[in-house]
Amino acid sequence: MSHLKLTKHHGLGNDFLVAFHPGVEDLPALARRLCDRHRGVGADGLLIAGSAEGYAAQMTLYNADGSRAEMSGNGIRCFAQALAARRGDMSDLLILTDAGDRLVKLTATGDSATIEATVGMGDVTPLDQPQGWAALECHPDRPVAHLSMGNPHSVVGVDEVAAVDLRALGEKVPAINLEIVEPGPESNAITMRVHERGLF
């Protein structure tokens, strides 16, 4: 009987499982089974670590529903923590993702279980309106932006993020990460809620 070793990591409210060279062929099925919060370990996604010449590692991300994602800012920071623990040092990590190279810089904290990880996400580029967008019936005067940071996002301005049924909206555009934002509470801040694609 083979054994699969996993570690679980948290970054800004996202949680990910990390496996090094799991030796499993059907990785989407593995992600669905492990990430299930009722019958599995429970996580937002499964990060698979592999070898890649010239890189600290290659990261492959499977969402909780088994779909493959190009990148995740929180995910790669969790991945970097797992990689740093395995290597036993806090060196900068050049990681290969489906969205290209990402450099992660690590800083130790006073808590041995916590690190600070900063990742260069690359350029923000505009995207076409995603399929199904009209179903959201966004008010034409509301600011909307469709952007890529290696993975697709749509951002919508609203009056009050707490009043929005975000899950219902997000399910209408399953191929993107949907963010709703409102100004404040400080003059130089925004409040945001996120519906991530690929969750159960």
Strand partners, 115: 108
The pLDDT of residue 141 is: 82
Tell me the pairing of strands 14-20 and 45-50.
Answer: parallel
Give the separation between CA 172 and CA 197, rounded to whole angstroms: 11
The pLDDT of residue 28 is: 96
Per-residue pLDDT of the chain (200 residues; tens, 9 = 90+): 368 899 999 998 899 999 998 888 899 999 999 999 999 999 999 999 999 999 999 999 999 999 999 999 999 999 999 999 999 999 999 999 999 999 999 999 999 899 999 998 888 999 999 988 999 988 888 889 999 988 999 999 998 999 999 999 999 998 899 999 999 999 999 999 999 898 76
Exposed, middle or buried: residue 23 (CB in 10 Å: 0-12, 13-18, 19+)?
A: exposed
The pLDDT of residue 98 is: 96
| Torsion over CA: 82, 37, 149, 57 (sign) | positive
Domains defined along the chain, listed by start: 7-119 (3.10.310.10), 125-195 (no CATH)
The pLDDT of residue 1 is: 38
User: The pTM is what?
Assistant: 0.85
Tell me which H or E stretch contains 36. none
The pLDDT of residue 35 is: 96
